[in-house]
Structure formats: C-alpha cells, structure tokens
Structure 1
Amino acid sequence: MSMLRSLARRLGHEAWFAAAFRWLVPADRLVGRLTGGRVVALGLVPSLLLTTTGRRSGQPRETPLLALPDGDAFVVAGSNWGQQHQPAWALNLLANPAGTVTVGGRRIPVRGRRVTGAERDRLWAMLVAEWPAYQTYARRAAGRDIVVFRLEPA
C-alpha cells in the first residue's frame, strides 16, 4: 500500500489525476458508506466521510475527504481539486456548521469552524505535508481562498 500511496502523492499534482478522481467521488462515497467509514480514498490517505446539511436542499450530503487529526478534532481543506469554485460541502458548512464525521466505523457529531490567520497557516502546513498536491491546487484555484476547517466534536 505504501507504494500506491507514494505514487498517488506524486500523481496528485497532475490535472488529469484530479479530473479522474473528481469522477470517482461517488464510488468513494459508496465504499466509505459500505465500510462504515473504514475505507475512504482507497485507504491511500487519512480520510473520513463528512455529512453536512445541504444549504439549499436541507438534505444530508456525504463527502469523502482527506482529513488529519488535530487534538480531538479533524482538519479538512476545501481544495475542490483546484477548481475555481468552493466545494459544495464547504459552502454547506459555512451556512450550517453542524455535521457528522464517520471515521474508523465511528460516527461523531462535529461543528465545522473555518480557521484563519496563524492557525490556518499551521493547519495548512500539516495538510500540505500529508498531500503535497494541495500546493498545486492552490495555484490552480488562481486566487480563490482554499478554506480550511477544523471539525470539532460537538
């Protein structure tokens, strides 16, 4: 698995890789749901399933995300693979910060808090260390602020 992880980290910078994985998100979501959150992102990176409330629909929306622990919370980035617009899950959290994460088979109620300043810089550095392609996504986003959230137990 470490060889696959290493390959994914190298290829993560490529535009075709991001485009391909954007299309695989529904399958990743299904695998995550079927495994109770034990396998997300093909097990290649630390991850979780985030359930938010749709800001327009009011319906639950589930998204697989790379996530890192920070104390008792989780850190996620709204990179959207470097696209020009914010991902829907990030807009949902901004509208309603209540959510649930499923990780390792456990469901945990959380509250998403957008981080800024020095705290964002620290957490962004952690995220980039885990997934270096985040730097590429930031360049591709061309001026769009990639939001970073700390998902804190509610």
Structure 2
Amino acid sequence: MSQATARQSDHGAVSRWMQHRMNARMGRKIRKGRGTFMGMDVLILHTVGRRSGQPRETPLAWFGDGEDAWLVVGSGGKADHPDWHLNLVGRPDAAAVELPGRDAVRVTPHVLTGAERERAWKEITAAQPRYGKYQSKSDREYPIVRLTPR
C-alpha cells in the first residue's frame, strides 16, 4: 500500500470515528429534548443495516410535511447516497423515528419523485437555503424521503 493510500485509509477511519462520536452526541441531545442543530429541527432515524442486519441510528434534519409526516434529505459529501438512505430503502419495514424527548415511532418511508419531490424541494430550500448550495456542488440529485407513522 502506498503512503498516499495509507493516509486516505487512515483519514477515512478517523472520519468514520468522528462521525460516530458526533452522531452519538447529537443522539444524547435529542433524547434530552434538545433537537436542533444549526437552526434546524433534528430527529433520530432508526434503520437496520441492509447487509449487516445491525441496528443503526442517524441524527437528521427534518422538515414538516402536513400534520403527521417528516421529510428528510439524503445530502452529504459523498458521490453516492448516504448509508442511512440505502439502509432505509433496503429495509423499509425496520424504519422508525425518534423526536426530541419522545419514544421511537415506526414509520413508512416514501422516496419522493417528480412534482411531489419538486414541491418538497422548494419548501426545504426556502426554509434552509444551504441545501440548495449543497445540491449545486453535487453530481447526484439528493433524495427526499417522506416518513409517515405506521
């Protein structure tokens, strides 16, 4: 392995470690009833690894969609969709959300497309313009998923 490859591998391990630490810290805040980050409401998405079968928890910003639904955006710096999105689509029956200070609620995910996605994207970027900036720097279209209680 070259030194450059070793550094990239070490960087990836450090990044994953840091992400796990940050997710755990945010999870604790949400469970204590403090569910905001950078001016956005945050929930914990519960999924099951599509390959590992292991439970996963991911703090995500959410946007309201009607009386009883939450929208989440598959943004991120990678060229592919985030792992939580792949797990959610791969095992939709295992999905749940945890809102600040509340117990987890099982949800049904629905990936938005077409006019439905366009409407949601306009609302999301009006509420948080940074998502439009993130999207403009990516070669992939960020998925938007509506989560509704079962």
TM tier, smaller: 0.7 to 0.9
Superposition pairs of residues 112-123 of structure 1, within 5 angstroms: 112-123=109-120
> RMSD between aligned alpha carbons?
2.3
Give the aligned partner of residue 78 of structure 2.
Answer: 83
- What is the CA-CA distance between 1:37 and the residue it aligns to? 6.3
Correspondence for 1:128 among 122, 125, 142: 125
Amino acid at match of 1:63: T
Structure 1: runs of 5 or more not aligned: 1-19
- What is the CA-CA distance between 1:104 and the residue it aligns to? 2.3
**Judging changes above 3 Å, is the alpha-carbon distance between structure 1 residues 37 and 45 closer, same or farther for their aligned structure 2 residues?**
farther
Inter-partner Cα distance in structure 1 for 2:73 and 2:32: 18
For each residue in 1:46-103, what CA deviation from the matched residue of structure 2 results, as whole angstroms up to 9, or x when unmatched?
Answer: 11110111101111111111101112110000011x4311100000111111311111
Give the aligned partner of residue 5 of structure 1.
Answer: none
- What is the CA-CA distance between 1:131 and the residue it aligns to? 1.8
Give the aligned partner of residue 9 of structure 2.
Answer: none
Residues 28 and 41 in structure 1, CA contact (< 8 A), matched pair in contact too: no
Inter-partner Cα distance in structure 1 for 2:89 and 2:132: 23
Superposition pairs of residues 102-117 of structure 1, within 5 angstroms: 102-106=98-102, 107-117=104-114
Residues 83 and 140 in structure 1, CA contact (< 8 A), matched pair in contact too: no
Residues 29 and 49 in structure 1, CA contact (< 8 A), matched pair in contact too: no
Inter-partner Cα distance in structure 1 for 2:142 and 2:38: 24
Residues 35 and 100 in structure 2, CA contact (< 8 A), matched pair in contact too: no
Inter-partner Cα distance in structure 1 for 2:24 and 2:64: 20
Amino acid at match of 1:117: G
Residues 30 and 43 in structure 2, CA contact (< 8 A), matched pair in contact too: no
Residues 120 and 148 in structure 1, CA contact (< 8 A), matched pair in contact too: yes
Residue correspondences, number: 132
Give the aligned partner of residue 140 of structure 1.
Answer: 137
TM-score (norm 2): 0.77
Amino acid at match of 1:129: A
1:48 aligns with 2:29: no
Residues 37 and 102 in structure 1, CA contact (< 8 A), matched pair in contact too: no
